[in-house]
Amino acid sequence: MSSCHKRLFEPVRQDSFEYGFVFMKQARSVFILAICSGVAVGLTAAIVGTNPPALPLTTERIASLPLEQQAVWMAYLERSTRQSAADRAFLQAERKEHAVKKLIIPSATCNAEGIALDKPADWYGKAKARRIANIIVSFQTPAGGWSKNLDMTRSVRVPGERFTLDSGWNYVGTFDNDATTTQLRFLAKVITATGTNNASYRAAFQRGLEYIFDAQYPSGGWPQVWPLQGGYHDAITYNDDAMPHVLESLRDVAGGQNEFVFVPVETRARATASLKRGVDCVLATQIVVNGRRTVWCQQHDPLTLQPASARNYEMPAQASSESAAIVLFLMQLPNPDSNVVAAVRAAAAWFEKTQIQNVAFRKVRGRGRLLVPSPGNGPLWARYYEIGTDRPVFGDRDRSVHDAVNEISRERRNGYGWYRDSPKRVLERYAQWSREHP
């Protein structure tokens, strides 16, 4: 049995965990049969803990900071509160002006589908691209961002139409599911392709950049939703590559290359400063275990920078897929300093250590998706690893945390990507990068 297989199937350690992952005595155990390297062994699987709720950013939490740090955080929170009120007031005034009794629901799509970023440069000057750009501008929130999963290929927003698909006031401006950064890139391509006859596009683009600047925490990261929505949405969010996409956008704006050539010098300078603070935050949030850097959590608390939970089944843990996106970004930085190099090397070593071979996570007739033996398959990585032991862990809707994916509910097994191969790209790129940065 390889070392990675031992980590995958070993009995749970009843241990404590400094990042808030609440372990408890074994509440339930079952006997399972694992076939690793042709050897059948009996092992136990158990509920090993409970996922704690994430903490929002509040005045009470800010008051616990050292006095010299409180003012900047209070200013940030007050700015968020004012902007949230302004966003709501805008929609209310619009409804009143146009006598809209019932809010109109916008069309939905998956992520930012339809907002193409891979067309030839001249395509963005044509009528179809300008039509999409007009729709994008119409759905920009008063704060300057965009919601997620909106179909921006159908029609412009009309008075009284919601900015978001959510029936409440949620995700009204977010970096989740490729939102905001995708719209900004598309507008930049259209601006560059259409020359000087694009004042509305330029204004929307600048407001979108201001949205990014306004949303950045004093600690350098970005929340999932801004103005702040509370709960896990307030955490510094690497989930679904939200913050890496922001950093990539700032990098390209700061460089003033390709579609961003029109960006004024002073705005590029602001993007450069924001990017540096963001990279510093990435380095500061890299999880350290026994003096060694490892990788990152999906979310980190904005005040403490410690790993934080998100949805009920997303616990504070080392996240392989999100960490892969972070490392790929870091390896793209020109002239990386010693801190960046050390962060990349440590993460690559962790990916090497935690890769899993000879198993597959796939559908089994009548049972849903399961982790099963698959000789020759791999490498794979579990989505989450317990901090301190590098053991894969898995969450369920009831906040229970398990040490075996086959033991969580069928609904969660089928509805979530518990195993990924994205770190494989990191290791492939790292082979060359490490030679370039000895």
| pLDDT, tens only, 115-129 | 999 999 999 999 999
pLDDT higher than threshold 60 for residue 397: yes
If you search the block for the tokens 């339930």, which residue do you land on? Answer: 28
Among 24-28, 68-72, 256-260, which is the least confidently predicted range?
Answer: 24-28
In percent, how much of the chain has pLDDT > 70?
90
Q: Are residues 101 and 249 in the same domain?
A: yes
Cα–Cα distance, 126 to 119 (Å, whole number): 11
Q: Are residues 124 and 229 in the same domain?
A: yes
Q: Are residues 222 and 250 in the same domain?
A: yes
Residue 395 to residues 7, 52, 359, 383: CA-CA distances in angstroms? Answer: 17, 11, 20, 11
How many helices (H) and strands (E) in the chain? 12, 16
CATH number at residue 225: 1.50.10.20
- Collapsing DSSP to helix, strand or coil, 186 comes out as helix
pLDDT higher than threshold 60 for residue 23: no
Residues 6 or more apart whose CB falls under 8 angstroms from that of 246 comprise 175, 181, 212, 222, 278
The domain in which residue 12 lies consists of 3-53+346-436
- Segment holding 432, helix H or strand E: helix 423-436
Structure confidence at residue 113 (pLDDT) = 86
310 falls within a domain: no
Q: Are residues 149 and 204 in the same domain?
A: yes
Q: Are residues 35 and 95 in the same domain?
A: no
Kindly state the tokens that stand for 156: 């412009």
Number of domains in the chain: 2
Among 34-38, 180-184, 200-204, 406-410, which is the least confidently predicted range?
Answer: 34-38
Q: Are residues 31 and 136 in the same domain?
A: no
pLDDT higher than threshold 60 for residue 192: yes
pLDDT level of residue 277 (50, 70, 90 thresholds)? very high
380 falls within a domain: yes
Residue 186 to residues 114, 163, 203, 232, 396: CA-CA distances in angstroms? Answer: 11, 19, 14, 29, 37
Q: Are residues 254 and 364 in the same domain?
A: no
413 falls within a domain: yes
Cis amide bond preceding 334, omega within 30:
no
- pTM greater than the 0.85 cutoff: yes
pLDDT level of residue 20 (50, 70, 90 thresholds)? very low
Structure confidence at residue 197 (pLDDT) = 76
pLDDT level of residue 44 (50, 70, 90 thresholds)? low
Last residue of a domain, one of 262, 288, 306: 262
364 falls within a domain: yes
Structure confidence at residue 257 (pLDDT) = 86
pLDDT level of residue 438 (50, 70, 90 thresholds)? confident
286 falls within a domain: no
Span 149-163, pLDDT tens digits: 999 999 999 999 999
Among 183-187, 195-199, 338-342, 392-396, which is the least confidently predicted range?
Answer: 195-199
Last residue of a domain, one of 262, 284, 316: 262
40 falls within a domain: yes
pLDDT higher than threshold 80 for residue 167: no
39 CB burial (10 A radius; 0-12, 13-18, 19+): exposed
Kindly state the tokens that stand for 373: 């033996």
Structure confidence at residue 155 (pLDDT) = 94
Catalytic residues: 177, 311
277 falls within a domain: no
Q: Are residues 106 and 46 in the same domain?
A: no
Q: Are residues 86 and 190 in the same domain?
A: yes
- Single-letter amino acid, residue 79: R
Q: Are residues 198 and 251 in the same domain?
A: yes
199 falls within a domain: yes
DSSP classification of residue 11:
P
Last residue of a domain, one of 234, 262, 290: 262
User: Exposure pattern of 74-108 as b/e (b: 16+ CB <10 Å)?
Assistant: eebbeebeebbeebeeebeeebeeeeeeeeeebee
